Amino acid sequence: MAKDKNLPILIVDDYRTMLRIIRSLLRQLGYTNVDEATDGSMALQKLKTKPYGLIISDWNMQPMSGLELLKAVRADPDLKDIPFIMVTAEGKRENVLAAKEAGVSNYIVKPFNAETLRQKVEAVLG
C-alpha cells in the first residue's frame, strides 16, 4: 500500500529545537505537510481546524502534557481515531503503560533517528 506523503502531520513539542529535528526527519522520509504546536492546548486548537492524519507529540510539556493531550484527543469523537505517537526522553515502564492505557498508537524514546521514526510512523499508518 502506497504511503500518502502528503498526509497532514501535527508535531507538538514545547522545545523548538525538537520541533525542527522532527520536521527535518519527517522531510527526509518524504513527509512535507507538517504543522507545529508548542503545547497541548495549541495542538487541540489546530486539530479542530484541519483533519490531521498523524500526531507526534512530546510527553513532557507545560502547561498541558503530551499525556493530557492524548487523553483529550481520544475523548473527542472527531479526533479519537487519529494515530498518536508519543515522544519521550524516558522509557519508564509506568510511562509506557500510562500512554498505552490512554490509547497511544506508538512510542519513541529520545534520542532517535530517521530510521526509528520511519519504523514507528509506518507501524501506525500501516
CATH number of 9-120: 3.40.50.2300
At 73-107, the pLDDT tens digits run 999 999 999 999 999 887 788 888 999 999 999 99
- 37 phi and psi, to 5 degrees? -135, 145
At 34-68, the pLDDT tens digits run 999 999 999 999 999 999 999 999 999 988 999 99
Q: Where are the domains of the chain?
A: 9-120
Decide: 18 and 35 in contact? Cβ < 8 Å: no
Distance, in Å, from the CA atom of 111 to the CA atom of 126, rounded to the nearest integer, reads 24
Decide: 85 and 96 in contact? Cβ < 8 Å: no
Q: Can you give the pLDDT at residue 3?
A: 65
